[in-house]
A = this chain, B = another copy of it.
Amino acid sequence: MAGVRQFDEDTMLEDALALFWSQGVAATSMVDLANATGVQRGSLYNAYGDREAIFLRAYDRYAGRFLASARASLEGDDAGQMLRRFFEAVITSMFAGETARGCLTTRTAGDGSLARQPIRARIRQMLDDLTAIVTEALARPGVREQLGLEPARAAELVVTFTRGLAVMERVYGDRAALLRGANSLISAIAPHAKRA
């Protein structure tokens, strides 16, 4: 068979994302991708050019979902509650799937993949967007007053801390410890919020 694309792009990108996420970008070869997606290596080269292009497409899906989930978790007007939901969502995402996969963004950042300019740009964009989302949430009237710092500073803190959690997940793989850490951060930045 030939002449028309034999694989479903959507399915193939989902499979690719799952693989990148579970193995890390750097450790995933075109052969791995071909096996995992059921699409011949040559077809992948023909359709996308190289591994990086496939990764970028898969990552866009990931980032879109991650940001949507962050946005959703940050609804409301109670700082403590929204941050608890936010960290809960972030941590749950790390432990979803067969094996703990951690945070794709952080894994990719630690991978050596940042040397590739397009990848670096996506990662930055994703973190910039995340920071904007958290800042907006923390700047809401009613929330802002519960914080011990400016919303923008608190948001930077939260975003940086999620990166730290992602690293700790890799090293220790201890979900409970991550949740404990998140709760510590919450009580440090939102001392005036209601407790859980």
Contact = CB atoms under 8 A, between A and B. Distances in A.
Interface of A: 24, 26-27, 106-107, 109-112, 114, 120, 123-124, 127, 148-149, 153-154, 156-157, 160-168, 170-172, 177, 180-181, 184-185, 187-189, 191
Contacts of A161: 160-161, 164
The main secondary structure of chain A at its interface with chain B is helix
Given A107-B110, A109-B170, A148-B187, 11 more contacts: A24-B112, A109-B167, A109-B171, A110-B110, A149-B188, A153-B184, A157-B184, A160-B168, A162-B164, A163-B163, A185-B188
Contacts of A163: 163-164, 167-168
A135 to B, nearest CB: 13
Nearest 4 A-B pairs (CB), nearest first? A110-B110, A164-B164, A163-B167, A160-B164
B24 A171 contact: no
Number of copies: 2
B156 A180 contact: yes
Contacts of A188: 148-149, 154, 157, 185, 188-189
